[in-house]
A = this chain, B = another copy of it.
Amino acid sequence: MQNDLPKGFRAGAAAASFKKAGRDDLGLIVSDTPAVLAGMFTQNLFKAAPVLVCQEILARGRAVRAVLANAGQANACTGEEGLANCRATQAMVAGLTGLGQDEILPLSTGVVGAHLKMDLWLDAVPALVQSLGSRDAEGFTRSFMTTDAFPKFATRDVALAGGTVRLTVMAKGAGMICPNMATMLCVALTDAQVAAEPWQAMFGRAVNKTFNRVSVDGDTSTNDTILGLANGASGVAAQGPEDIGLLEEALTAILGQVSYMLVKDGEGARKVIHITVSGAANDADAELVARSVGHSQLVKTAIYGGDANWGRIVTAVGYSGARFDPAAVSMKLCGIERFRKGCPVNEDQETALTELLKGEDVQVDIDLGGGSGSYTFKASDLGHEYVTENADYRS
Query: How far apart sit A214 and B77, CA to CA, in the bound complex (Å)?
Result: 28
Query: How far apart sit A329 and B76, CA to CA, in the bound complex (Å)?
Result: 14
Q: How many residues from A make CB contacts under 8 Å with B? A: 70
Q: Are A112 and B219 in contact (CB under 8 A)?
A: no
By beta carbon, the residue of chain B nearest A223 is B315
A204 in the interface, Cβ–Cβ < 8 Å?
no
Q: Which residues of B contact A315 (CB under 8 A)?
A: 44, 46, 76-77, 112, 176, 219-222
Q: Which residues of B contact A318 (CB under 8 A)?
A: 44-46, 220, 222
A305 in the interface, Cβ–Cβ < 8 Å?
yes
Q: Are B386 and A301 in contact (CB under 8 A)?
A: yes
This chain: how many copies in the complex? 2
Q: Are A339 and B113 in contact (CB under 8 A)?
A: yes
Contact of A387 among B44, B304, B341 (CB under 8 A): B304
Q: Are B343 and A219 in contact (CB under 8 A)?
A: no
Is the contact region of chain A dominated by helix, strand, or loop, or is it mixed?
loop
32-76 of chain A: CB within 8 A of chain B? 42-47, 74, 76
Query: Quick one: given A217-B297, A298-B176, A319-B44, are A112 and B314 in contact (CB under 8 Å)?
Result: yes
Least CB distance from A187 to B in Å reads 22
By beta carbon, the residue of chain B nearest A314 is B77
A307 in the interface, Cβ–Cβ < 8 Å?
yes
A119 in the interface, Cβ–Cβ < 8 Å?
no
Q: Are B311 and A113 in contact (CB under 8 A)?
A: yes
Least CB distance from A128 to B in Å reads 26
Q: Which residues of B contact A306 (CB under 8 A)?
A: 391
Q: List 8 A-B contacts (CB under 8 A).
A: A46-B317, A77-B339, A81-B343, A112-B315, A113-B314, A176-B298, A220-B318, A307-B393
Q: Which residues of B contact A44 (CB under 8 A)?
A: 315, 318-319
Q: Which residues of B contact A47 (CB under 8 A)?
A: 326
Least CB distance from A211 to B in Å reads 15
By beta carbon, the residue of chain B nearest A300 is B390
Q: Are A307 and B115 in contact (CB under 8 A)?
A: no
Q: Which residues of B contact A343 (CB under 8 A)?
A: 77-81
Q: Which residues of B contact A76 (CB under 8 A)?
A: 311, 315
Query: How far apart sit A387 and B310, CA to CA, in the bound complex (Å)?
Result: 17
Query: How far apart sit A69 and B346, CA to CA, in the bound complex (Å)?
Result: 28
Q: Are B383 and A387 in contact (CB under 8 A)?
A: yes
Query: How far apart sit A329 and B77, CA to CA, in the bound complex (Å)?
Result: 10
A218 in the interface, Cβ–Cβ < 8 Å?
yes
Query: How far apart sit A301 and B236, CA to CA, in the bound complex (Å)?
Result: 50
Q: Are B301 and A390 in contact (CB under 8 A)?
A: yes
Query: How far apart sit A383 and B390, CA to CA, in the bound complex (Å)?
Result: 10
